[in-house]
Amino acid sequence: MNPDEIIKHNLLAEPLSLDALKLARGIYNTHISLDEEFEMEIKIPIFYKLLNLQPSEASINYIQDLLEELNEPLAIRNFEFNKEKTQLKFVQFCCYKIGNESIKIELSEEYLHAQREYMLDCFLF
């Protein structure tokens, strides 16, 4: 076996909820539709529609809970990204900021790379 060969693992500590998966895929598809921009601003009503929620403070809190669920860090051993190797790397799905009318999201390029190259339990592609 080649020492540089990537061995894929299940990296999620526990499976994501169905709504978290739906949210992640919606964010990822927005990223794709915006010519793979990592920074995006998505209007809050789009989240309501995606998750079948009614506009309310409780719904905003629920969306935030889902984003936090997605941001549970993945621990990846022997992570290589942009020609840099790290023995142990923790990556998160995104950074986000909830505003009055939209949510600014910066999708993690490292996370997407980890999905493609290191995860058996990938859920975006």
Averaged pLDDT for residues 70-75: 91
Quick one: how far is CA 27 from the chain centroid? 8
Res. 3: pLDDT tops 60: no
Res. 20: pLDDT tops 70: yes
Residue 96, classed as helix, strand or coil, is strand
Q: How far apart are CA 37 and CA 56, in angstroms?
A: 29
In this prediction, residue 15 carries a pLDDT of 82
Q: How far apart are CA 118 and CA 78, in angstroms?
A: 10
Q: How far apart are CA 70 and CA 15, in angstroms?
A: 10
Compute the mean pLDDT over every residue in the chain, rounded to the nearest whole number.
91
Task: Among 3.40.50, 1.20.120, 1.10.150, 1.10.10, name the CATH number for the domain at 18-117.
Answer: 1.10.10
In contact, 63 and 50? CB cutoff 8 Å: no
Q: At 21, which helix (H) or strand (E)?
A: helix 18-33
Question: What pTM, to 2 d.p., does this model score?
Answer: 0.88
What is the rounded end-to-end Cα distance, in angstroms, of the chain?
A: 27
Q: Please report, for the chain, the start and end positions of each structural domain, with discontinuous segments joined by +.
A: 18-117
pLDDT band at 5 (very low <50, low <70, confident <90, very high): low
Q: How far apart are CA 21 and CA 123, in angstroms?
A: 7
